[in-house]
Copies of this chain bind each other. A is one copy, B any other.
């Protein structure tokens, strides 16, 4: 069945976005044409506005998603619950939303409900510098042996998640150079 109406096309777009990752309108164009629907990129641009589509990160790339959709891809992608398997890397890729440092703490945000799951994986990683973890609903607090270890850990976690490096906290306080309590720009190891 080939819906040639506007509404039909949009419904199909919803289905597609709920089912697979679509990075660009060109890609969507191609998928639709495989289903026998021929439109131009401009039309898709309008459709996506109309559907309220957003672009969310999946790895490094932005992909389309439609909030409030049945199998809400916005949430699902962020949750990544389907594929969560036993490796920390996998967990981080799927579940680590942000990781920030505050002194000897690392705060990891996860999608709702995923914190305990991720915390468990982190625990079992056997990092000596991790004194312990506490997990709420969507937040994992990791207590490390020190600020430097915290930073190292964040870098590591973000790397695992495929997101690059840490962003230390800076107070949005225009007071000057003293906003560096928790930050420090060296990576020297000292005994």
The 8 Å CB contact of A168, one of B7, B78, B141, B164, is B7
Instruction: Please indicate the chain B residues that have their CB under 8 angstroms from the CB of A116 in the complex.
Output: 136-137
Interface residues in A, total, Cβ within 8 A: 77
Instruction: Please indicate the chain B residues that have their CB under 8 angstroms from the CB of A123 in the complex.
Output: 138
The interface bits of chain A over 105-135 (1 if a CB of B lies within 8 angstroms of the residue's CB, else 0) are 1010100000010011001000000011111
Q: A105–B134 Cα gap in the complex (Å)?
A: 13
Instruction: Please indicate the chain B residues that have their CB under 8 angstroms from the CB of A163 in the complex.
Output: 50, 52
Q: Can you offer 25 A-B residue contacts whose CB atoms are under 8 A?
A: A1-B174, A1-B175, A7-B167, A7-B168, A7-B170, A49-B164, A51-B167, A52-B97, A54-B55, A66-B98, A67-B78, A67-B98, A68-B109, A69-B98, A74-B79, A100-B131, A109-B131, A119-B136, A120-B137, A132-B138, A132-B141, A134-B135, A134-B136, A134-B141, A135-B136
